Structure 1
């Protein structure tokens, strides 16, 4: 495997660094989904019939376009214009929303960089990993877009800015309460008056939705804030309350990557069945499923005010193990074990050993398709930084057979686990160790499992790559997944 050039974090003032951070995932999308390679680092954009070149590998940088016989640097604004024109010609469709999101994403990065310069770095390595994602999704055209609202509206709640704040507390009249599963942990966050039940809320969401009528007629009352802070995970709308060892997932009426981040009714209504199916797939074994125990909401704002209760970490980690977000390992943070390991082969073998078997076993033995991508996987490491345990989360993204076909479920698992997850971790490890090839070990890890799909996985020349740029440009539903073939590094 050719070693990928390690691109350090962008330097310069915040504007220059924001351009670089925002350009990398946009270029990844453009080069994966539309452009045609013509030479190392050089691609042709067929719609506009222009050549573009970049340096670097996983995180392309320094975009230049060929014009009038010479290469000219592209700033982020020019890059957005070029991509938009290419997509308009490529698809025959116009889209005014996505270019605005690309600019919003870049401006959000600038605000995040400025805020991080003013904030103290969290002492907890787990929190540092969750709040490290300045780039974010490496194959999304606008991973940091925050709905186009003013910075002051969202920055106080941004994980990348090391935010921490108490959840808002509401009282919802008992005759309008809707709940399912075990939501008892919510009642410990405060006290509701007679005739009401406690309903925590994300303060940003309260600014986004119109609740004037239920507040006016008494179906909803304000009860202040929780007595202790929680901090946002990489998912933004999911908060971790360390004093309660509890995760709380809220609705946010903001488009983040491909979706408006509501807890949708149809997902909530299938939550218990999905979560119970996944929980059965994780007994016994060192791998852990962080259960979505239940949800609580109000019947007059079922999706807008829904809150989901998720297992915490205490009692689920192996003794002495420290959880870290898999996406944080790729993005980088102070204390990242990838920076310290002197034996990449042993580290990678250990990583594969904790992540791959539970995901494959859940599929093979229980018909459970985990959304095992980088943001839904925690990897716990021992005192020496060696992976010893995997923890998976988010029932909302789980699919069950036969609700989806086996073929569709396998394609989704391969995309999430291999393309989105292992490819990125493997690339980050290979960047740090010249000449290290992570893929023979990965092939062995998959070959150990007796699934009929494994032989095809290890011989197919391609893997499915999700087309986030084209999905957003063509206005597809956020839950859709359309794939294009990518070279398969597992095909030895």
Structure 2
């Protein structure tokens, strides 16, 4: 096979690594082929299942899948399982030329906005190789939810930009990324005339002035502040949220693009934080569900998404004796996916909770970061913990049907649109949480078949059972910078096999 020269980000990271951490240079080089395959697998899933306008048709065959491009070219690769999480794509062929690197493939496709996306893929491969190379040898089992989520090395299970961290140097990735297990020093910026909701902790005040925790990357690159002493914290899956030792979690503003979105904290999120948290406490208490909501203790903004923070409970406060709380993204690292009965019980638990709340009028964004599961001492799932309420959706009409007053909220969090509500839950919970935990269409179908027949018959369950499964078109979104918000596609339903892989609305 023809091997082109090393892509730019890979070479640049290697050069910097040789200065910053030379001991990782050899492991990094050894990790690159696997990282390329991991990102290429995610990209091939997108090419096979997203409504990309320059793909004319898809032709499954005995030897794989062929994509016919609108310009007449032919792209061929293996059959694409929309729920697979293993790196099974090591090469695809554009006409007769093989490509083993996702960035070079996108460059060769020459599609609109492709160069910027190719650069992100290049960075994703390099950062993923760095993440894998930097893993220490650990013999002990994780104890806290923080320790579990720091074991998640590969990032988003389906996004080609699973480890893209533009703007982060090698030194900054090693210093701030959770999979490298650093201790991060959060700066404290005193701010006047802040909007504060909830009870802002006394230890984050200087007299009457509010102290806003600031991520050191944000302080250096966005706020242009000098390094300062602050509070030590452990970075979590989202990188911008950190766990204080033996204390709450702090969500900081981090104005850089990670996977799809620029990470900051909107003024709207701070304005609504206390109301949404109190409302969800009321709802979960009323339903008596096996679900805990981590309370938002306080939120603050200095009238800017670049200088804001949220303090909330640690999920670990909901662990009983002998229990472990594991972020769903880390479940593939446990024994649960290897046992069909446990996987089915997990599916039953999350679908029961998610569909009951949806019927009531609350759609959770229950992906691998926001949703955690409580495992009993035998490793069985018994309860759920949900954190970060900023992107849930609330339906006043559905709440009214159940005699529940809607919270005093306006804006994007409020909607009665059934498509929006179902996309929010199904796209995150089934296509994300359950799909990634199962790891394949076959395993996901078996888990769902076991439990769906026993769930209460509601219109939402019928939509989940009979319609194609909604999923965010993550690659199309990165190739459509002129289109704000989410773009959706439909994946084949693992329960009935229906659904076109290239529809959207």
Instruction: Give the TM-score band, short-chain normalised.
Output: 0.7 to 0.9
Residue of structure 1 equivalent to 2:367: 373
2:365 counterpart of 1:358:
no
Shift of 1:468: 0.8
**Residue among 125, 133, 148 paired with 1:129:** 148
**Residue among 292, 298, 301 paired with 2:302:** 298
CA distance in 1, matches of 2:440, 2:203: 42
Residue of structure 2 equivalent to 1:274: 276
Structure 1 residues 344 and 196, CA gap change in structure 2 (3 angstroms): same
Structure 1 residues 410 and 429, CA gap change in structure 2 (3 angstroms): closer
2:50 counterpart of 1:25:
no
Residue of structure 2 equivalent to 1:338: 336
Residue of structure 2 equivalent to 1:159: 178
**Residue among 279, 291, 296 paired with 1:287:** 291
Structure 1 residues 384 and 56, CA gap change in structure 2 (3 angstroms): farther
Deviations 1:166-191 (A, max 9, x none): 3222333xx4333111222xx336x7
**Residue among 383, 390, 394 paired with 1:396:** 390
Deviations 1:182-240 (A, max 9, x none): 222xx336x73x5633222111111121346xx9xxxxxx86222xx321111111111
User: Are the counterparts in 1 of residues 161 and 260 from structure 2 also a CA contact under 8 Å?
Assistant: no
CA distance in 2, matches of 1:337, 1:123: 13
User: Are the counterparts in 1 of residues 355 and 461 from structure 2 also a CA contact under 8 Å?
Assistant: no
2:88 counterpart of 1:82:
no
TM-score, L = length of structure 2: 0.79
Deviations 1:322-343 (A, max 9, x none): 011111123x3xxx1236x5x5
User: Are the counterparts in 2 of residues 274 and 398 from structure 1 also a CA contact under 8 Å?
Assistant: no
CA distance in 1, matches of 2:224, 2:266: 18
User: Are the counterparts in 2 of residues 443 and 490 from structure 1 also a CA contact under 8 Å?
Assistant: no
CA distance in 2, matches of 1:476, 1:442: 41
Say which SS state the counterpart of residue 110 (structure 1) adopts: helix
Shift of 1:103: 0.7
2:92 counterpart of 1:64:
yes
Cα-Cα RMSD = 3.0
CA distance in 1, matches of 2:184, 2:48: 39
CA distance in 2, matches of 1:63, 1:412: 33
Residue of structure 2 equivalent to 1:419: 431
Q: Which blocks of at least 5 consecutive residues in structure 2 are unaligned?
A: 1-26, 397-413, 498-505
**Residue among 179, 183, 197 paired with 1:180:** 197
Q: Which blocks of at least 5 consecutive residues in structure 1 are unaligned?
A: 1-9, 216-221
Q: How does 1:146-295 map to 2 (within 5 A)?
A: 146-172=165-191, 175-184=192-201, 187-188=202-203, 192=206, 194=207, 196-211=209-224, 224-226=229-231, 229-244=232-247, 246-283=248-285, 284-295=288-299
User: Are the counterparts in 2 of residues 323 and 378 from structure 1 also a CA contact under 8 Å?
Assistant: yes
User: Are the counterparts in 2 of residues 154 and 204 from structure 1 also a CA contact under 8 Å?
Assistant: no
2:40 counterpart of 1:44:
no
TM-score, L = length of structure 1: 0.81
CA distance in 2, matches of 1:40, 1:148: 43
CA distance in 2, matches of 1:360, 1:201: 37
**Residue among 439, 452, 467 paired with 2:448:** 439
Structure 1 residues 348 and 101, CA gap change in structure 2 (3 angstroms): same
CA distance in 2, matches of 1:442, 1:468: 29
Deviations 1:138-172 (A, max 9, x none): 32221211124422233310012222223222333
User: Are the counterparts in 2 of residues 325 and 375 from structure 1 also a CA contact under 8 Å?
Assistant: yes
Shift of 1:84: 4.4
Deviations 1:61-112 (A, max 9, x none): 22231655xxx64221xx3233345471xxxx33432111111111111222
Shift of 1:29: 1.6
CA distance in 2, matches of 1:135, 1:415: 20
CA distance in 1, matches of 2:126, 2:318: 39
Residue of structure 2 equivalent to 1:6: none
Say which SS state the counterpart of residue 229 (structure 2) adopts: strand
Shift of 1:44: 2.1
User: Are the counterparts in 2 of residues 170 and 224 from structure 1 also a CA contact under 8 Å?
Assistant: no
CA distance in 2, matches of 1:132, 1:30: 29
**Residue among 132, 135, 146 paired with 1:116:** 135
User: Are the counterparts in 1 of residues 344 and 450 from structure 2 also a CA contact under 8 Å?
Assistant: yes
Deviations 1:439-464 (A, max 9, x none): 3114225xx2242222232223x211
Structure 1 residues 386 and 469, CA gap change in structure 2 (3 angstroms): same
- How many residue pairs match? The answer is 440
Say which SS state the counterpart of residue 167 (structure 1) adopts: strand
User: Are the counterparts in 2 of residues 159 and 231 from structure 1 also a CA contact under 8 Å?
Assistant: yes
- Comparing 42-51 with 389-398, greater Cα deviation is found at 42-51
Shift of 1:118: 7.9
CA distance in 2, matches of 1:211, 1:82: 37
